[in-house]
Chain A
Amino acid sequence: MNISKKLSAMILSIVLVISSFGTANAAKRLTAAVADWTGGEITCQVAVSILEDELGYKIKRVVFPSGTGLWEAIAAGEIDFACESWPSYAEADTVMMKGPLIYDGKTMFNYEGDGSVKLLGTTGIIGLSDYFIPKYAADKFGIKSWKDLNKHKDKFATIESGKRGRLIGCPVAGWNCHDQKRLDLLGIDFQADELGTEAAAIAEAVAAYERKEPFLLYLWQPHWFFGAYDMVGVGLPEHKTCDSFTEANNWKDCGTAAWPATGWAKDYTMNYGNPETFAKAEHADAAKFFTKMKFDNADQAVMLVEVKQKNRDLKEVVAEWKKNNPNKWKSWLP
């Protein structure tokens, strides 16, 4: 009996060993968290493909939903870098990053966290958030700005919101949009619904658009939704810098001007990584590349349409962009 067991184990392990040769370790290896929204995926693919093809890196891609877990994983060194973080959505940025956020050579913001995550540089993409309604609804009801919303609130009502209109709001509480507070302060009699995920909010918006129903949606640009559907922003009030929009003073003061507002300057999206990894000499090239990278909103928007509307392979689209626009990215190389 015993012999038979030993023999079985031996044969099995021999087969396993024989078959698993290879996979040597290269020095220039990095692990990247690939964002889980399409815009982020494109930015990531642009960065990763340049690192791989031009700078000779071997990069392991990990699909990792964005959120606090990702920041912790980067701080712990499990993941080396992630692309396209949106400061407006990340609560961890002020806690974990240290140093200036530089765009176009100008310091936009100074982080004063513990530095457990390194700000590698801006991606070049600048986010813009607003509340949007479909064009057909804007034309039909003559809605030109957020001030007209109250008049037509019954058109935007659902069963759950009753007599009030409904805003498909910021889907995640952690993003700190404070939609309901803003609506109340602006005097818009709408109810903000938090649907839990971007996918849920977009799914509902897509279905409503296909049925040509009016709806009010919080969204940001660049987003593939705008390539597929004709949306009009309601133009939220101008943004003002101010720190008093907090629970402590009951969200008063400059709440109406807080994010997401028109002309807000914070959403310079950025790449971020593990500080120890990028302090190493062999990753100096990558670190330099990230400081120089400056991807463009318009380019991403075009690629979003290619990927989402024409159902093309993302890698193929990025490769094509690289081939046709070498002058755009050659300058990012160290």
Chain B
Amino acid sequence: MSAEILDKSKANKNIVKYIVVLLIFLGALVLSIQSEGQSKFPKSVTDEFTFTAWVNDGEDYLKKNYRWITKIIAGYIKSGYYFLEDFLIDSPWLLIASILFLPCLIAGGLRLGLYSLFVIYFWGGVGMWDESLQTLALMGLSVVLCVFFGVLLGVLCSQSDRFENFMKPILDTMQVMPAFVYLFPALFFFGIGGAPAILATMIYAMPPVIRLTNAGIRQVSEQIIESATSFGSSKLQLLFKIKIPLSLPSIMMGINQVIMMALALVVLACFIGAEGIGGQVWLAIRNLDVGWAMEGGLCILFMAIMFDRFSMSFSKEEERLPLDVQKFYLLPQSWEKFQIARIFEKPLSYSHAIINLVCKKITNLISYVAEFITSLFNKPLGRDIGEFVGNRYYIIPSFIVFFIISFIDSNIFSIGTFPEEWKLSIRQPIADTVKSLTVNPGFIAFTKGLRAFVYLNLLNPLDTFLTHTPWWYTTAVFALIGYFTVGLRFAFITVLLLLFIGACGIWPQSMITLSSVLVSVALCFAIGVPLGIIASYNPRFKNIQNVVLDAMQTLPYFCYLIPVLMFFGGGIVSAVLATVIYSIPPIIRLTSLGLTQVSGTFSEVSRSFGGTTLQTLNKVKFPLAVPSLVIGFNQTVIMAFAMQIVTPLIGGKGLGLEVFNGLARSDTGRGLAAGIGIVLMAIIIDRISLAWTKKQREALGL
């Protein structure tokens, strides 16, 4: 009886909720229809609040008074970068190839080794050898600096709660702030080329290392710490001997992410004169050469995969096989039952044994000689050296190989750069495909239909609605949402942030951005969730999809801008579609993850009660997968906001265009205000949806 009443009151509450939402929406609709033009902030406020002028004055002051410091910093970074770049480009290509190949072979086995050979060949084959190495140098140096400072800051965060709380919003901002905003000021302070590119990359790519180092150190179990303290370790000893070594896997994961993010930004760095593949891709876009752009994109993609696998092979535990089972070097171990596979692998295992033996013998010999010579002067030191050398029977021979190659190059004959005869080109087929699609009437009818649908039914109405609704009304609605999902404090902050956006005079632009993002996310949802569902039921489809998604996430987004333009024309619809392509992966991944993770028992129970597949999916799996879905939604939203900064290149409007216009006139303040606008909106939506998941989780008892 009481349960019934409870249910009823709950249902009533729900109805009230819906009515309130509907009323608020209707109010907005009425207001937006009544208003004549776009809603604008009162002029008296925007005229007084000259944020852009303050920023520009501040920048001028910094430029005048502190440029000498930044020049010195830039000088150091630059010399390091040039050293690395000159080394990579001036060295014989065989040396560089072996420097990349041997570590991959040693750490990742034959499969990764062969893959690295393929990557190296691809760089040279498509004629981007120098550019790839420049990108490599840029990325390498920024990763080293990121890891150094990131681990340092991460350790500091883990030691002090106050410092952690101080860093958190800064890290959020670093990740969401569009790189274009600080890319150009960096140019004025640090000059062009490598130095500002590396610093900008550090801003963008450092947060994961800091976060993961912090998390890793904080996760070291209490018992271990206690036992270490009881043995009398000091605080520093505890940190360096126990906590940091134990959190190494977490730190390695951070490094892995840094590599990926650095590669993404290094492409953008071509806008400030940094050399490398980014410049090639940009030139290709200027020339509308899709094939060329793809070649550049694939160079980066393959490089990213190589480093990803390489760094993963370090953080992963080696899989051990029982001694009597023959280990396969190239083919999957599960193929052992096939005779052909065994025959194929035989020579590989023999050659492995031979190489192993040779390496060990050579290393032992060197270790013996080294030990003998040093022990003439100092016995214990000699033993140490001998042991050190003897234990490294892969690294020492590798260095011998490097040395032999350098020796041959400088004394016998010059190896030079990658041979031009080994050419490989995929430009023409890609360009032809795009061209034939451009004039294919069926396909163009489809793209036109899609463009009309998105523009007439989604973008245009939403744009008009959001820009015409008075600013105070929109702010109030956001504050209400913030109050009910997070709390009073957040509602207050939301109002302040939105008022800041308004006072900067960019209210209409930010509403356009908001509507583009909302439409993009809605499309991502409509396309991504079904794909995620299919993937959760069909493992083979999932495997293929994962590869495609990996590629989509690492391929520089420049690459697919031209095809989008060719098929859909420039304008806001193309901007939305490019945003969808860029930001759809998380929603697909997390849908399929969420659905797969719903424990078998739940679906088993549902099926035994006679639920059909559709019912199980709809009534059981989906509700349980909601938290995961929302995380996917969240990431998609953030990525969609980040993409807003690139879409002006193909006709996007809103805050991104403001950033571009600011930069085109070297008006940092204008660019920064718009950039901050993007960050603030992303943060507000992020917090609201996170809080909503939390409630959902609690309701589900997860």
Contact = CB atoms under 8 A, between A and B. Distances in A.
A87 to B, nearest CB: 16
B661 A210 contact: no
Interface string A184-200: 00000000011111111
Contacts of B672: none
Interface string B395-406: 000010011001
Contacts of B455: 159-160
Nearest to B427: A311
A208 B566 CA distance: 8
A7 B95 CA distance: 21
Interface string B641-658: 000000111111000010
B639 to A, nearest CB: 20
A208 B188 CA distance: 40
B329 to A, nearest CB: 28
Contacts of A101: none
B571 interface: yes
B193 A78 contact: yes
Contact of B385 (A7, A22, A33): A7
- Size bin of chain B's contact surface: 35 or more
Interface stretch (A67-75, A118-126, A286-294): A67-75
B215 interface: no
A173 B271 contact: no
Interface string B405-447: 0100010000000000000000000000001001100001000
Contacts of B285: 197, 199
A19 B98 CA distance: 14
Contacts of B184: 69
A193 B570 contact: yes
B288 A203 contact: yes
Counting chain B CB atoms within 10 Å of each CB, which of A3, A68, A201, A207 scores highest?
Answer: A207
A79 B272 CA distance: 12
Report whether over half of chain B's contact residues are helix, strand or loop; otherwise say mixed. Answer: helix
A19 B286 contact: no
Contacts of B556: none
Given A20-B87, A73-B191, A196-B648, A203 B570 contact: yes
A172 B571 contact: no
A65 interface: yes
A197 B646 CA distance: 11
Contacts of A63: 270, 273, 275, 279, 282-283
Interface string A74-106: 001011000000000001100000000000000
A206 interface: yes
A68 B271 contact: no
B330 interface: no
Given A73-B273, A173-B664, A200 B651 contact: yes
Contacts of A73: 187, 191-192, 273
Given A203-B562, A207-B438, A207-B569, A68 B666 contact: yes
A68 B439 CA distance: 37
Contacts of B388: 3-4, 7
B664 A62 contact: no
A37 B385 CA distance: 58
Contacts of A281: none
A273 to B, nearest CB: 15
B569 A3 contact: no
A79 B193 CA distance: 10
A299 interface: no
A63 B130 CA distance: 14
Contact of A174 (B385, B448, B661): B661
A3 B386 CA distance: 11
A221 interface: no
Given A196-B649, A206-B288, A62 B87 contact: no
A68 B664 CA distance: 6
A168 interface: yes
Contact of B565 (A37, A174, A207): A207
A158 B452 CA distance: 9
A201 B570 contact: yes
Interface in A12-51: 15-16, 18-23, 33, 36-38
A155 interface: no
A202 interface: yes
A182 B677 CA distance: 32
B90 interface: yes
A146 interface: no
Contact of A15 (B193, B399, B571): B399
A204 interface: yes
B286 A37 contact: yes
Interface in B280-304: 282-283, 285-288
A304 B354 CA distance: 58
B559 to A, nearest CB: 13
Contact of A19 (B270, B406, B665): B406
- Size bin of chain A's contact surface: 35 or more
A5 B520 CA distance: 51
A73 B283 CA distance: 20
A308 interface: yes
Interface in B580-606: none
B93 interface: no
Given A69-B187, A193-B571, A64 B657 contact: no
A3 B391 CA distance: 14
Contacts of A308: 287
Given A7-B388, A11-B399, A159-B451, A20 B651 contact: no
B566 A206 contact: yes
A289 to B, nearest CB: 24
B83 interface: yes
A173 B661 contact: yes
Contact of A79 (B270, B273, B448, B648): B273
B286 A36 contact: yes
A26 to B, nearest CB: 15
B60 to A, nearest CB: 13
Counting chain B CB atoms within 10 Å of each CB, which of A168, A174, A199 scores highest?
Answer: A199
Nearest to B434: A207
A92 B402 CA distance: 50
Contacts of A208: 569
Counting chain B CB atoms within 10 Å of each CB, which of A63, A158, A208 scores highest?
Answer: A63
A172 B561 CA distance: 17
Nearest to B190: A78
B567 interface: yes
B188 A19 contact: no
A36 B270 CA distance: 11
A140 interface: no
B314 to A, nearest CB: 16
Given A20-B91, A78-B191, A210-B435, A199 B286 contact: yes
A320 to B, nearest CB: 20
B310 interface: no
A323 interface: no
A280 interface: no
Counting chain B CB atoms within 10 Å of each CB, which of A15, A91, A160 scores highest?
Answer: A160
A209 to B, nearest CB: 10
A310 interface: no
Contacts of B570: 168, 193, 195-196, 200-201, 203-204
Counting chain A CB atoms within 10 Å of each CB, which of B452, B647, B651 scores highest?
Answer: B651
Nearest to A215: B569
A76 B406 contact: no
Contact of A65 (B270, B410, B562, B567): B270
B657 A211 contact: no
28 contacts: A3-B381, A23-B86, A36-B283, A38-B286, A62-B192, A62-B193, A63-B270, A63-B273, A64-B192, A65-B271, A68-B665, A68-B666, A73-B187, A73-B273, A76-B191, A78-B273, A160-B455, A160-B572, A160-B573, A173-B661, A196-B649, A197-B650, A200-B561, A200-B565, A203-B570, A204-B566, A204-B570, A207-B565
Q: List the 4 closest pairs (A to B, CB-CB), nearest first.
A: A174-B664, A195-B570, A203-B565, A63-B279
Given A19-B90, A158-B569, A199-B288, 4 more contacts: A16-B87, A68-B666, A193-B651, A210-B439
